[in-house]
Structure 1
Amino acid sequence: MRVEASTGGVLRTLKKALILDADYYESARNTLRIRRLALTIVTLAAGSHVLGSAVILLINRASLPMMILALGLDGVAVVAGYYFWTFTIWKVGQWMKPIDPTYGDLLSPIGFAYAPQVLNFLTLIPLLGRPIELVLAVWSLLAVIVAVRQGLDITTRRAMFICLIGWPLIQVAIGFVQVLEQELVKLG
């Protein structure tokens, strides 16, 4: 099974990642093209999150400068969360068992696992936004567990433990950014 870095490759990767295809995570070789594909998925996830936030900020009549600041912060938070979570997984993985993969080796499979976040624009649905956001967060967690299990060649239980250390921190950070955005809207 080969991972391709093209438009079709992005769509195929999204599909495989969304269905938690363990073989797909394992077949992703650490090359520059694959890392770019993973970063493309993370960027799409950030864009989707920004889109959902933009509509909410427009509804709340945020001023243009505050909106630009809030949306920039929102997009950067998603990408920074990806790098932070990958770093946390790598460090805990090293602590639990001397692991062969480097930090860079984990960037691709964890980037693929961000595929559910590409659907984050669905949080615009009235009254369902928060539940959809939680479902997508848990779906991404499950995808990262599969990616870590395959990438580190460890048991599912260990992969869950490793991933669950950083996940709550990411969720708190996302909540903090959302509260900060609301405060920025009040200021503007």
Structure 2
Amino acid sequence: MMLDLGTAIALIRDTLLLRPGTTELLRLGGGALRLAFYVLLAAGLSEAVGESVVLFVNRVSPRRFAISLLISALIFAFGYLFFALSVYLLARYALRIEVPFSFVAGMVALGQAPRLFGYLSFIPYLGLPISVLLWIWSVVATIVGVAEGLSLAPLEALLTVALGALILVSAQRTVGRPLIALARLARKQAAGVPLVTNRHQWLELIDSAPEPGLAEPRARTRRRPGGKAGGAA
């Protein structure tokens, strides 16, 4: 089923407002599921833009800047798909709920709609609080979706999402380490330069490149009688 623009906007709006009924369209598959995954990718891209200060400071070229943002968005999306797999396994084998993985993945993906505003974390001083607020908002949206989609009580949905996140973190610290290392390598290769992430090193990097018009003036020379140049006395 294809979604028209009005329905797509309404679905995202209802997710942001934590309204019930968003999972009904996901059950039908098709356009609603595609929209959920588009939201996930767009949220990852927005988050990458919000964290792109690292790329600016490291003077990454525009082409590599765009590639780095795309890779970060894909890594973000894959991370949440693995989280969706954790929730699906819990629903299937712990709660004995028969649901297709695509439906669970769609719920988790759509729950990241608040992070479409992730680019706001680029704002100086307010970036970190905004990022934390968006993360909490997306967690609540995911819990609301899981509760409705799996017919769970709010506490059961909270525990399911929390256990799913715990499984994901455990996997990242064990069998997922090679994948994390590969993701870091991909980011470095995309940037094309060694990325400096330490704040003190940022200041040194910024200070090492004087702005146009602020470069130190060259020592002036003047002609001495006889045609020889010399510095000012």
TM range (shorter): 0.7 to 0.9
| Separation in 2, partners of 1:16, 1:67 | 33
Q: Secondary structure at the match of 2:58?
A: coil
Q: Work out which of the residue numbers 44, 47, 64 in structure 1 matches 2:45.
A: 47
Q: Indicate yes or no: 2:88 matched with 1:90.
A: yes
TM-score, normalized by length of structure 2? 0.67
State the superposition RMSD in angstroms: 3.0
Q: Work out which of the residue numbers 168, 185, 196 in structure 2 matches 1:186.
A: 196
| Separation in 1, partners of 2:138, 2:76 | 13
Q: Secondary structure at the match of 1:10?
A: helix
* Kept in 1: contact 2:45–2:70 (CA 8 A): no
Q: Work out which of the residue numbers 63, 67, 80 in structure 1 matches 2:60.
A: 63
TM-score, normalized by length of structure 1? 0.81
- Ranges in structure 2 where 5+ consecutive residues have no aligned partner: 173-179, 198-204, 206-233
State the identity %: 21
| Separation in 1, partners of 2:156, 2:19 | 19
Q: Secondary structure at the match of 2:48?
A: helix
| Separation in 1, partners of 2:194, 2:37 | 28
| Separation in 1, partners of 2:134, 2:67 | 25
Alpha carbons of structure 1 residues 167 and 134: separation in structure 2 relative to 1, 3 Å: farther
Alpha carbons of structure 1 residues 184 and 35: separation in structure 2 relative to 1, 3 Å: farther
Q: Secondary structure at the match of 2:109?
A: helix
Write out the 4+ residue segments of structure 1 that deviate beyond 6 Å after TM superposition. Answer: 180-183
Equivalences, count:
180
- Higher-Rg member (1/2): 2
Which residue does the alignment assign to 1:121? 119
* Kept in 2: contact 1:26–1:147 (CA 8 A): no
Which deviations, in whole Å up to 9, do the C-alpha atoms of 1:117-142 show, x marking residues without a partner?
A: 10101101111111111111111111
| Separation in 1, partners of 2:164, 2:126 | 26
- 1:53 to partner: Cα distance: 2.6
Q: Which has the higher contact order (CA 8 A, sep 6+)?
A: 1
Q: Secondary structure at the match of 2:195?
A: helix
| Separation in 1, partners of 2:18, 2:143 | 9
Alpha carbons of structure 1 residues 4 and 123: separation in structure 2 relative to 1, 3 Å: farther
| Separation in 2, partners of 1:69, 1:186 | 18
Which residue does the alignment assign to 1:102? 100
| Separation in 2, partners of 1:120, 1:105 | 25
* Kept in 2: contact 1:90–1:103 (CA 8 A): yes
- Ranges in structure 1 where 5+ consecutive residues have no aligned partner: none
Q: Work out which of the residue numbers 137, 153, 156 in structure 2 matches 1:155.
A: 153
Alpha carbons of structure 1 residues 10 and 62: separation in structure 2 relative to 1, 3 Å: farther
Q: Secondary structure at the match of 1:127?
A: coil
Which deviations, in whole Å up to 9, do the C-alpha atoms of 1:85-134 show, x marking residues without a partner?
A: 11011111223211111211212222221110101011011111111111
| Separation in 2, partners of 1:81, 1:98 | 25
| Separation in 2, partners of 1:146, 1:112 | 11
Q: Secondary structure at the match of 1:101?
A: coil
Q: Work out which of the residue numbers 11, 14, 21 in structure 1 matches 2:12.
A: 14
| Separation in 1, partners of 2:152, 2:133 | 25
Q: Secondary structure at the match of 2:42?
A: helix
